[in-house]
Amino acid sequence: MKRPQRVWVVVNPVAGGGRGAQMWREAEPAVRAHFEGAEIEVFETTPENHGGQWIASALADHQDDEGVVLALGGDGTLSGIARGMYQSTGKRIAPRVALALLPVGRGNDFFKTLAGEEFGASLKPWERGLKLLREGEPKPVDAGFVTFEDRAGRPAGQGFLMNVLDFGFPGLVVDRVLKRSGLVSGKLLGGTRHTYLAQSAAAMLQYRPQEFEVTVDGREVFRGPLFSGLVLNGRYNAGGVCWSATADPGDGIFEVLVLKDRGVVASLKDAPLMKSGRWERSPAATLARGREIRARWLGQGAKPHPLFDVDGDLPEGPDAVTLVVHPAADPLLVYRL
């Protein structure tokens, strides 16, 4: 890729438990030095605009330029910004503009897929992102459009997938993370990478298995009570849990992992797989690969808690019981090794 003409920096000031603004102040001189000669614009996200709207507007005026969109935040920030780089047709607004990440979120899990778990391990999070900018290159990376439906099949929300989408138990965990539930898991650890582990432990006492039907490219692969289900573009989420040793965000295919409920004690036996990602070794696992994935909640009455987590966010509407994800027409260009 040629030296970019323009750089758009999107800063999430509350990323990583409120550290985003401080991280940008530290990173800004190095970022400006790296992109010397390019025109640089900086935007801070707000609760009303997560950056996607601003990026869409900015790129519409520069559709033929060479450029870089630099996201300073976590997986949720990256996902919102990436959505803004697409038209409603699934085509990219500016095909010569690449996306890069300065990972300053709680987990920074998609960055692990892009660069590897140990890449720049001794550096500050934003320094790891700058190192990837210097040593990596823009390569095609898949993205997914997510739609939700109510029981009658009517629209009930939408989302955008860059890393991992999950349902069942993870929906409860993310709900607790976002609400900072609990004294220890929420108030004391809420801004750290340990918050997912702490909230998962607390949620174990609350969660009840949920009945789901899962289809991949029109073929039913699972029906029954599950502990959790995942649609994988990246390999990691929840602060470093590895859900696949093989998921490749550039191969045009999503991996699917469904874990049936076996109870807490039996589930703990799978703990080593959270590091290796070799879930085919678990008797609880159903694995599949495909392009269109549908997950439908089969429960009755009101949902016990949010069911679907997309890149650490809960975009489902209150009546949503079905999730559908399919890949964007064009992959993004994203800096990776």
DSSP-assigned letters across all residues of 38-104: SEEEEEE--SS--SHHHHHHHHHT-TTS-EEEEEEE-HHHHHHHHHHTB-TTS-BS-TTEEEEEEE-
- pLDDT, position 17: 82
- pLDDT, position 322: 97
CB 47 within 8 A of CB 41: no
- pLDDT, position 123: 96
CB 136 within 8 A of CB 114: yes
Rounded to a whole number of angstroms, the CA Rg of the chain reads 19
The one-digit pLDDT tens for each residue of the chain (337 residues) are 668 999 999 999 999 888 999 999 999 999 999 999 999 999 999 988 889 999 999 999 999 999 999 999 999 899 999 999 999 889 999 999 999 999 999 889 999 999 999 999 999 999 999 999 999 999 999 999 999 999 999 999 999 999 999 999 988 988 888 886 554 444 444 455 567 778 877 887 788 999 999 999 999 999 999 999 999 999 999 889 999 999 999 999 999 999 998 877 777 789 999 999 999 999 999 999 999 999 999 999 999 999 999 998 899 999 999 999 999 999 999 999 9
- pLDDT, position 189: 47
- pLDDT, position 183: 43
- pLDDT, position 201: 78
Which stretch of DSSP H or E encloses residue 136? Answer: none
Which stretch of DSSP H or E encloses residue 322? Answer: strand 322-327
| 147 DSSP β-pair partners | 158, 324
d(CA 166, CA 171): 7
What spatial distance separates the first Cα and last Cα of the chain, rounded to whole Å? 14
| 216 DSSP β-pair partners | 219, 293
Domains of the chain with CATH codes: 6-135 (3.40.50.10330), 144-328 (2.60.200.40)
Strands 137-141 and 332-336: antiparallel
Both structure tokens of 267: 């589930």
3-state secondary structure 248-309: CCCCCCEEEEEEECCCHHHHHCCCCHHHHCCHHHCCCEEEEEECCEEEEECCCCCCCCCCEE
Q: In whole angstroms, how far apart are CA 121 and each of 51, 58, 88, 125, 129?
A: 28, 34, 38, 9, 11
d(CA 118, CA 88): 36
d(CA 46, CA 165): 23
281's CB contacts (< 8 A; 6+ apart) are 273
3's CB contacts (< 8 A; 6+ apart) are 37, 38, 66
